[in-house]
Amino acid sequence: MSLNSSLKIDKKILLENLEKTIQKYDLIALKKKGENYLYDYIQKSKEIIFKYHPTVLSPKKFFFPKEEVLFEYTADGEVTPKSETKPTILFGIRPCDVNGIHILNEAFAESKGDPNYLAKKENSLVIGLDCEKLCDENAFCYRVKSQNSTKGADLFLHDLGLEFALTIITDKGKKFAQEYLQSSPGSEQALTKYQAAKKKSFSLVAPFRDLDKLPEIFSKNQNHVIWKEKGSKCLSCGSCIMVCPTCYCFDVADEFALNLQKGERLRRWDACMLSSFAEVAGGENFRDKAENRLKHRLNRKFNYLMKKHGQAVCVGCGRCVRACLADINPKLIVKVLTGEQE
């Protein structure tokens, strides 16, 4: 654990301080809207929900929105890059999603770097919040070892009841904590006790067998019958991708304003599970079967991109399992490929 792990902050003070940040920052946290829980903008700190309830969408939507303008142009051909960002705090982000943010940070920073994503990221602060236990039966963070992920956050909190243990992850987080959080030295013991309890609650579950060898296992099983079996059920609706914290495929489209004097080039979420994703202009489709698309998506998570990122690119949040209308569960597919018993 970090040297800074023995900081603490009183819950009431934290809420007061968070509310103060709203003057300068957009504050985003888990809140309830109707019957649903979601990450959304907070006006009053009392709106924040501390007990985790799985959300449909991940916090990725704040860095990589479902639609954003890449640049604006005029009918005369004047092009202006556009990426307006506001200082933003993402509060209470759980380990799986913190890990998801870390993976997207890497993906968008790669090679030349994606200006729009990086600008949003640079202008924001991520405060993680630990999960003491599994959030529901669909989550499988422990399978990919992301239940303790802190990389991707700037600060990380552990709920100790009346107070939080605070861990500083980045310099940016440190600066923010000094300016806003009024933390004080806490007892190492309290955090150790929390972590022991968490470890115990996760002790009945285990990571995927041969987790580190998944790329190899996936490569060897490109013709496994599971792809046909599960792929034949897939409705190619793309829901799994919309809800995934680490899917970042996109489409690019132009839109002209009604007055035809100006327009925008937009990027929108796209989905490799949709049937037309790999189609080219002449009509040839390089991935025209649902089973191949399913195989492709899971190979991105556990093979192709896993090799690049050095960790599974599925964070085990369980959102795709909850969203899938055809009951396709990546956890079960991986277990079949590794030959693991339930």
Where on the chain is the footprint of another protein (CB under 8 A)?
24, 70-71, 73, 75, 77, 79, 81-87, 107-108, 110-116, 119, 122-123, 222, 248-256, 263, 265, 267, 270, 272, 277-282, 284, 286-287, 292, 296, 299-300, 303-304, 307
* Minimal distance, residue 9 CB to another protein, in Å: 26
Q: Is 105 helix (H, G, I), strand (E, B) or coil?
A: helix
Task: Please state, in angstroms and rounded to a whole number, the distance separating the CA atoms of residues 324 and 335.
Answer: 18
Q: Tell me how far apart the terminal alpha carbons of the chain are, to the nearest angstrom.
A: 32
Nearest distance in Å: CB 155, another protein: 21
Between 126 and 313, whose beta carbon lies closer to another protein? 313
d(CA 294, CA 298): 6
CB nearer to another protein: pick between 75 and 325? 75
**Which DSSP helix (H) or strand (E) runs through 269?**
strand 262-269
- Minimal distance, residue 309 CB to another protein, in Å: 13
The C-alpha atoms of residue 212 and residue 167 are separated, in whole angstroms, by 28
Instruction: Tell me whether residue 93 or residue 306 sits nearer to another protein (CB atom).
Output: 306
Q: Are 281 and 81 in contact (CB under 8 A)?
A: no
Q: Report residue 328 CA to chain centroid gap.
A: 20
Strands 26-33 and 88-93: parallel
Say if residues 262 and 74 touch (Cβ distance below 8 Å). Answer: yes
Select from 2, 174, 29, 25 the least CA-distant residue to 94.
Answer: 29
Min separation Cβ 135 and another protein, Å: 28
Q: What is the maximum alpha-carbon separation in the chain?
A: 66
Q: What is the smallest separation between the CB atom of 322 and another protein, expressed in angstroms?
A: 23
Considering the complex, state which of residue 164 and residue 248 has its C-beta at the smaller distance from another protein.
248
Name the 3-class secondary structure at 38. Answer: strand
**Which CB atom, from 46 or from 112, has the smaller least distance to another protein?**
112
Look-up of token digits 């039966």: 137
| Residue nearer to another protein on the CB measure, 156 or 277 | 277
Q: 157 near 165, Cβ under 8 Å?
A: yes
For CA atoms 52, 99, 156, 202, the dihedral sign is positive
Between 5 and 311, CB nearer to another protein: 311
Kindly state the smallest distance separating residue 299's Cβ from another protein, in Å.
7
Least Å distance between CB 70 and another protein? Answer: 4
